[in-house]
A = this chain, B = another copy of it.
Amino acid sequence: MHSELVAPRSADPRDSQDTRESRPGSRTDSRNGAPHLDAVSLAIIEQLQEDGRRPYAAIGKAVGLSEAAVRQRVQKLLDQGVMQIVAVTDPLTVGFRRQAMVGVNVEGDVETVADALSAMSECEYVVMTAGSFDLMVEIVCEDDDHLLEVINKRIRAVPGVRSTESFVYLKLKKQTYMWGTR
């Protein structure tokens, strides 16, 4: 259960004449409930990716819509879970000085293990993968002791975890939140 046949949206800023067609997110047409987004909603998201607090009127001016229309669309996008507007921080600044990516190999049901790891607050990011790891997990810790405890005590203790391999972060070079825009 993946893959879908949604028409790929044009991410080209030039074609704005097709702007006034096709409802924004009417049909939830992909099986995971993800609605298809039109160019205007994409443009709104793009605005909010630059500044999550940008006023609706300013966004409306940028995308060619009234303030109220932008407000309604944003509310719908939030309600649908298509996007969320949040503060993101640099972990180092906030007191978490050790991060690592951990590759996990599983015996038995991978999703069960994934759920168990997702329940741990130190696991920031959990994804099931194809390749030499079944799971990749990003963990965020306060110091080396904390990191050691999480990896060697908590993660390895989860039933079904066969082995792990750790990649301690030395330096974060890039991190964007520009999905859907370039």
Contacts and interface: CB of A to CB of B under 8 A. Distances in A.
B180 A95 contact: yes
A94 B172 contact: no
A125 B34 CA distance: 24
Contacts of A51: 85-86
A52 interface: yes
A17 interface: no
Contacts of A177: 84, 86-88
- On chain A, which size bracket covers the interface? 35 or more
Nearest to A25: B93
B87 A81 contact: no
Interface string A95-111: 11100110100000001
B49 A87 contact: yes
